Amino acid sequence: MGAHNIQITLPDGTRRPVQAGSTAAEALGGKSLKKDVLAVKVNGVARDLSAVLTSDASLEPVTFDSPDGKDVYRHTSTHIMAQAVKELFPSAQLTIGPAIDEGFYYDFAFDRPFTPDDLEKIEARALEIIKRDLPIARMEMPRAEAVRLSKERGEVYKAEIIETMIQDPVISLYRQGEFIDICEGPHLPSTGYVGAFKLLSSAGAYWRGDERNPMLQRIYGTSFPTKDALKAHLDKLEEIKRRDHRKLGKELDLISIQDEIGPGLVLWHPKGSLVRLLIENFWREQHLKGGYELVYSPHVARLDLWKTSGHVDYYRDNMFATMKVENNEYQLKPMNCPFHIMIYKSHLRSYRDLPIRYGELGTVYRYERTGVLHGLLRVRGFTQDDAHLFCRPDQIEPEVSRVLDFTFFILRTFGFSEFEVYLSPKPEKAVGSAENGTQATSALEAALKSRGVTYQIDPGEGVFYGPKIDIKIKDVLGRSWQCSTVQVDFNNPERFDLAYTGEDGKAHRPIMIHRALMGSIERFFGILIEHYAGAFPTWLAPVQAIVLSITDKQQAYAETVAAQLRTAGFRAEADLRNEKIGFKIREAEKAKIPFMLVVGDREMQGGTVSVRGRSKADLGNMPVPAMMELLRKDTVQAVLA
């Protein structure tokens, strides 16, 4: 039978015939195809441009501007880096090398850490490989043959991956020159497609993320189509370093994490504690206004409580070891919800009582592996801004709607205005009936639609007891941070046998809504530090104004001004040191204090202050009451924004 034509459909709806057996690249234009087309989606599935078309299909060119395009670009880049490592260090064994946000990494089994000098050599060799413009070809072979090939090449980790982590009978591999790696693909047509390439750092990483396994050597890198785009990214990385909350937390004397206490456990210093107090006080005030009742719960409970809640079955790996007390096993709490359930259960409830909203700034403890701990952003002990709502089925949608409004109000107050919202249906490995899961998902979706919130479906990311809404905030650098979550739970009311008396006089089961607005105080504080580069808005600044005396003659006046500010409710200090005024100003700027009030003889005689903003703005000379009004407006406007 001779060759025949098939129909392809392009994104604009254009249909045209091509010969069966043509590649996707040929169907999209062949030699005239622009080099910015990196791969193709065939019927919605990302494939290599070399993919052979045998039947009618819709084709969509994939460029770097799309998430799929970046993934293809960076995945090819990590193979280029791995090839460079193998050429320079033949004894290094390949493990895994994925594309990640704005870059890639590859883990190697090697007998020592890679040095900065090694990274320079690897990057230089990678640039050579790009210059070679090696064609990249996809191969497929039976699973057993792929295992044999991996072992023949000395890649025992790759053989283990195929044997234990991949169930497909046919394994795909990619070749570029002499380098071969198992991979699902797709990849760029050749190594020469990579325009700008840079290695960033190296670190240790355990095989399969388990500290009981061998330590591997991880190399991070990134790549972009142009050198200008790479430079912009590197400049952004420098800004991220400048804003690193671990660095600023130390410089501004806000927090510390010390080995003597334990990894992932935070010490809040006085200034950091003051900011935390301001955050928590605002949280409490707004919750009381919003109809919540505030509760407190213990840090430990009998293990049986966590068995009833399902945490022992579904969350055990993230819980600390139990402790024995009077022949009973106790557990450090990983969550607050069972305690709030027991408070609900302590009384008979009527349909008229619902909804009941319990809020708690409750400290929880989770066993995070050492390798994933990261400053305030990933810790082992943290305080959740937690709340649990108990309601009737007809109240789910309006309650979720209220929570969404509340969430956006809180986040905007702290200076965040861009959000990404995800709806995650109930996962496969979950408790409770499919019918309840569907009902809960529908209620969440209806609340999002009623508020006009744009959202994406994130399948499989629901928690073990049901579906959820996740809200990510974007910081000033455009980075996304997971903070807020809203979860509908039919399961725990069932497990704890919760009830309320309905209008009909019969017992009915309430529905439970779990929600956190900031996520955890520690993580949120870390994000705030980086978002503001430590220069908190005036209402959150631990010191709002500092009075700087020019000479010793103004010390008494400086102290009086600072006292007046404190009496008026502002957080003020006085720097009375025998130092030059320029030095004092620089110190105050380094401390990121919003307002510096300089006082010399003229100010002392006139009862005024000379005001400087921390952005080096000269705000002029003004009476102390006028300065107080300036401070008052600055703090009120920030909270109301």
Tell me the catalytic residues.
337, 366, 384, 386, 388, 468, 514
- Cα–Cα distances in Å, from 619 out to 266, 596, 631, 634? 38, 10, 12, 13
Write 206-215 long-range contacts (CB < 8 A, 24+).
206/371, 207/95, 207/107, 207/109, 207/157, 209/369, 209/371, 209/372, 211/369, 211/370, 211/371, 214/109
How many angstroms separate the CA atoms of 548 and 585, rounded? 8
Q: Do 182 and 146 touch, CB atoms closer than 8 A?
A: yes
Tokens encoding 363: 């400290």
| Pairing verdict, β 215-224 and 103-109 | antiparallel
The residue behind tokens 């949120």 is 524
Instruction: Tell me the backbone φ, ψ of residue 589, rounded to 5 degrees.
Output: -65, -40
Q: Helix, strand or coil for residue 188?
A: coil
Q: Do 330 and 300 touch, CB atoms closer than 8 A?
A: yes
Tokens encoding 5: 């034509």
Closest CA to 196 of 262, 258, 130, 111: 130
Closest CA to 55 of 13, 8, 98, 90: 8
Count of all residues that appear for the chain in the document: 641
Which amino acid is present at 332?
L
What's the DSSP call for residue 417? -
Closest CA to 320 of 265, 377, 267, 385: 265
**Residue partners of 35: CB distance under 8 A and separation at least 6:** 193
